[in-house]
Amino acid sequence: MNIQKSFDQEYAPKLYIVPTPIGNLEDITIRALRILKAVDMIAAEDTRNTQKLLNHFEIKTPLISYHEHNKQTRGTLLLEKLQSGQSIAAVSDAGMPAISDPGQELVRLAIENDIDVVVLPGANAALCALVGSGLDTRSFLFYGFLPRKKKDKEIELEKLNYMQASILLYESPYRVKETLQTMQKIFDSRRQIVLARELTKRFEEYARGTIEELLDWAAGRELKGEFCMVVAGNENAADELSPEKWWEEEQLTAKEHVAYIIENEGITSKEAIKRVAAERKQPKREIYQAYHQLGE
């Protein structure tokens, strides 16, 4: 168990999670600027991008890189600095760190070692897109980026098809059309979707409509900028077609179910077998035998 009282020890070292603007530099908060100036070091996803932000606001705090490819070794180094009494601010290129950006592992590492983690509020593209979409905001699922492989993307969209909540996705401009085409195969063609691009920037744009309408809109355009896709929930989703039953829709065997989870979530076969047994409500022994093809 871990209890954190963030400001009881004013001078104790802290890991600050600091959101940065997703486009418009005016969206940074006064508190964020103060923290970036006050900490001993800033851990940045891309030091070149963050340096531009710091230069704009005349902030001289030293930078160190922390990204997907060095998070293991760099995380250890940052923890050592925190344990030595230094405070560190973690930032991503834009928006809230740890939301489809590096930071989650660093937060966990700090918590496991009793370092206070203080998260500042700030810009987030997905929430901006949701509010501006006009779709239901009462319940939503943030998914992030869909898989790139066509089959994996189809499987994920099959699962998402039965969500009654609004769905928030990030997508590259180079894959928006292909993703819409895949959605057309799986979703009701009347499903409402909103594409939001270049949020908070000069060329901010929302395209709202059905899948068919958005495919027509996108067909003759060269799409640019990072996209947020907001998908209306499936109001007609039946309980028997809940996301928990997605493997039945895909007609996956128990062995294929285990293999899919191992490949896409990077967990061990032991963990995957336990998970599949729980999802299918079958004894773990049966899933183990099916996966390893015992007794055949």
Query: Which has the higher per-residue pLDDT, 146 or 279?
Result: 146
Q: SS3 of 152, please?
A: helix
Residue 7 lies in a domain: no
- The alpha helices in the chain, defined as continuous H runs, are 30-38, 47-56, 71-83, 104-112, 125-133, 150-160, 176-186, 211-219, 246-249, 254-265, 269-280, 284-292
Residues 68 and 94 in one domain: yes
The count of domains in the chain is 3
Residues 214 and 284 in one domain: no
Residue 5 lies in a domain: no
Look up the domain containing 154 and give its range.
125-237
First to last CA, the chain: 46
d(CA 152, CA 234): 21
How far is Cα of residue 9 from the mean position of the Cα atoms in its chain? 32
Q: For residue range 162-172, list pLDDT tens digits in order.
A: 889 999 999 99
Residue 270 lies in a domain: yes
Residues 73-77, mean pLDDT to the nearest whole number: 94
Residue 9 lies in a domain: no
Query: Which has the higher per-residue pLDDT, 229 or 272?
Result: 229
Residues 180 and 197 in one domain: yes
Q: Give, in order, the Cα–Cα distances in Å from 6 to each of 29, 89, 101.
A: 19, 15, 24
Q: For residue range 197-248, list pLDDT tens digits in order.
A: 999 999 999 999 999 999 999 998 899 998 999 999 988 765 444 455 677 7
